[in-house]
Amino acid sequence: MASRRKILVAECEQEISSFNPLPSQYADFTILRGKALFEAHADADTCIRGCLDVLGARQDFELVPVYGASACSAGPLSPGGFDRLSREFLEAIAMATKPDVAAVYLSMHGAMGAVSELDPEGYLLEHVRTCVGPDIPIVVSLDLHGLLTDRMLANCDAIAVYHTYPHNDFTSTGQRAARLLEAILDRGARPVMARVFIPALVRGPELITASGLYGKVIDRAKAMESGGGAMSAAVLIGNPFTDAPELGSQSLVVTDNDPEKAGRLAMELAEAFWADHGKMLADLVPLPEAIADAAGRPGPVTFTDAADAPSSGASGDSNRILADLVRSGYRGRAILPIVDAPAARRAHEAGTGARLRVPLGGTIDPGRFPPLELEVEVERLGDGEYRHEVSRMPAHAGPTAVLRHGNIRIVVVTHPVFMMDRAIFLAHGLDPEQADIIVVKSPGAAVRYFTFACRNYVLDIPGATSANLGSLGHRVCPRPMFPLDDDVVFQPRVQLYPRLGTAA
């Protein structure tokens, strides 16, 4: 029997906000080596899981778990952190690369950023390409919030991109990436990639793919994949908070050795997106107005604090809603999460049932969030180990505490974690359905995961991931850029990336 062909599988994922003042560190990453990588993903809803579903069943392939690094979104990775992470990642790839390696699959996000390297994914791909050589296919999966760079596109063969926002196609995107590899390895497909850069940063409800205008464009991309001759098609909207030289929206189409078609379809997607981009703006409600309106409703309602979304790279230590609820004398039952390591430590020292006066919030970004001193009761303590409800991936929030101030319950976590679904509340004994106001620190999760809420308010408050993009202070991304500048002109241009390999 012929020996099984080895496919290297690795992961490096983080999404950052350049406007978060706290750099993230190597220690913020969960590192998985060898078979621990596959064990962690086997039962999860992730791209690697999708890859395992498709390729793991094949007798002629051997999937090799190489290295996984993933972290909650945060500030840009520190120089030392990126040095170590990239060195470990590339050493692991080099160790696993043997003459019988047939392909590489990399699960990436696309919106990483390091203080010392504005294109980490491009850096990694360039070095993986150097390591495995020009003939070994490299297929990547990306978040639609990823930034595509010239260096990334020049150093991989094909890319599969999420088609849903809020994201619910992690596994199927990994499956699509795996099928790209099958097309190359089984049928000798020769991918050519075309991209069109679109000078727009977008936010708001029209991005919800199930109902919004962006979804209509994605539907066209999906049709191109299912019967239109594209191996992969997508529109990436980038992460508006990753201020980098190629930040923007981009269409991407991969065809089998048909550059003309790839370019034509990428142009079609880009023009369709541009036609509606002006409507892809957040509709933000002033916080005092939301509190007053919520006070007159039976609840529960959700307060979307997209400006402080750890899942987008914000610090998570915003106390703005808390401060306004207290100041306004709001009497309903409110639950909200906050990152505050010193407050969690003090609560653990004091013990359950203790009453104490603590500053809350602003431990990371005091410029935006002056600490708020509050009298609280420690209702519950935890170790911060639980599973996210939707992805079923573990959360490592560090020591946690539920602090009560009147009818407000504050879930204090030590480390930033995704604050998207109900898990952060349920894991701490709080049932969101019993609350009047639920603070959801995520741009789009409230309407998806808190469907029992009678209203969602998307708030205009400060934060490192504010949908009020003009408030952030971009300095690196291309200009002019919608909506940072007026009268932006779209001059579409197709860039082609044919496969570098020599296989014919």
Q: How far is the CB of 486 from Zn ion (least distance, A)?
A: 28
Distances (CA, A) of 104 to 127, 129, 132, 258: 13, 10, 9, 23
Stretch that binds Zn ion, among 81-89, 119-127, 135-143, 177-185 (CB under 5 A): 135-143
96 CB neighbour count, 10 Å cutoff: 20
Pick from 493, 490, 484, 494: which is nearest to 274 by CA? 490
Q: Which is nearer to Zn ion, 145 or 346 (CB)?
A: 145
* Only segment of 114-122, 143-151, 176-184, 226-234 that touches Zn ion (CB under 5 A): 143-151
Shortest Å, Cβ 361 to Zn ion: 25
Cα 294 from chain centre: 29
Q: Which is nearer to Zn ion, 232 or 242 (CB)?
A: 242
* Residues 85-124 as x/- pattern, contact with Zn ion by CB under 5 A: ----------------------------------------
**Residue (6 or 145) nearer to Zn ion, CB:** 145
Q: Which is nearer to Zn ion, 168 or 495 (CB)?
A: 168
Span from 66-74, 75-83, 142-150, 296-304 in contact with Zn ion (CB under 5 A): 142-150
Tell me which of 6, 41, 129, 145 binds Zn ion, using CB under 5 A. 145
**319: closest CA among 355, 297, 287, 277?**
287
CB of 145 to Zn ion, least distance (A): 4
Of the two residues 234 and 437, which places its CB atom closer to Zn ion in the complex? 234
Q: Which is nearer to Zn ion, 46 or 414 (CB)?
A: 46
Q: With respect to Zn ion, which residue has the nearer C-beta, 40 or 111? A: 111
CB of 295 to Zn ion, least distance (A): 33
Structural element, H or E, at residue 455: strand 455-458
Report which of 76, 111, 71 is spatially closest to residue 89, judged by C-alpha positions: 71
The helix or strand, by DSSP H or E, that contains position 47, with its residue range, turns out to be helix 47-55
Smallest separation, CB 15 to Zn ion (Å): 7
| Least gap, CB of 146 to Zn ion (angstroms) | 8
Contact 54, 182 (CB under 8 A): yes
The answer to whether the peptide bond before residue 366 is cis (omega within 30 degrees of 0) is: no
The residue ranges of DSSP E strands in 109-179, in sequence order, are 138-142, 158-161
Residue 287 Cβ vs Zn ion, minimum distance, rounded to whole Å? 25
Residues 7-66 that bind Zn ion (CB under 5 A): none
- Cα 422 to Cα 113: distance, rounded to the nearest angstrom: 28
Helices marked H in 335-483: 341-350, 423-426, 445-449
Closer residue to Zn ion, CB minimum distance, 165 or 330:
165
What one-character DSSP code corresponds to residue 94? Answer: H
- Residue closer to Zn ion by CB (options 44, 322) is 44
For residue 273, report the phi and psi dihedrals to the nearest 5 degrees: -65, -45
Q: Residue 197 corresponds to which tokens in the numbers above? A: 């850069």
Task: Give the nearest distance from C-beta 442 to Zn ion in angstroms.
Answer: 10
Counting residues that bind Zn ion (by CB under 5 A) gives 2
User: Which CB, 334 or 467, lies closer to Zn ion?
Assistant: 467
CA dist 353 → 265, 302, 331, 410 (Å): 62, 28, 22, 15
Query: Between residues 243 and 436, which has the closer beta carbon with respect to Zn ion?
Result: 243
445-484 mask for Zn ion (x: CB under 5 A)?
A: ----------------------------------------
**In the complex, least distance from residue 304 CB atom to Zn ion, rounded to whole angstroms:** 16
Question: Which one of 23-31, 32-40, 137-145, 257-265 is the stretch in contact with Zn ion (CB under 5 A)?
Answer: 137-145
CB of 310 to Zn ion, least distance (A): 13
CB-wise, 121 or 143, nearer to Zn ion?
143
Q: Which stretch binds Zn ion (CB under 5 A): 74-82, 139-147, 249-257, 356-364?
A: 139-147
Residue number closest to Zn ion, CB atom:
145
Distances (CA, A) of 453 to 225, 289, 364, 410, 458: 36, 18, 30, 19, 13
In whole angstroms, give the CA distance from residue 181 to residue 454.
Answer: 45
Q: How far is the CB of 166 from Zn ion (least distance, A)?
A: 8
Identify which range of 26-34, 58-66, 136-144, 174-182 contacts Zn ion by CB under 5 A: 136-144
φ, ψ (nearest 5 deg) of residue 234: -165, 160
**Contact assessment for residue 437 and residue 333, using Cβ atoms and an 8 Å cutoff:** yes
Residue from 28, 45, 143, 308 that binds Zn ion (CB under 5 A)? 143
Q: Which is nearer to Zn ion, 145 or 422 (CB)?
A: 145
Q: How far is the CB of 162 from Zn ion (least distance, A)?
A: 7
Min dist CB 167 to Zn ion, Å, is 6
| Exposure string over 319-335, b if 16+ CB within 10 A, otherwise e | bbbbbbbbeeebebbbb
CA distance 354 to 186: 64
Assign residue 363 a region (left: φ > 0; alpha: ψ between -120 and 50; beta: otherwise).
alpha
Question: Which residues in this chain contact Zn ion in the complex, by CB under 5 A?
Answer: 143, 145
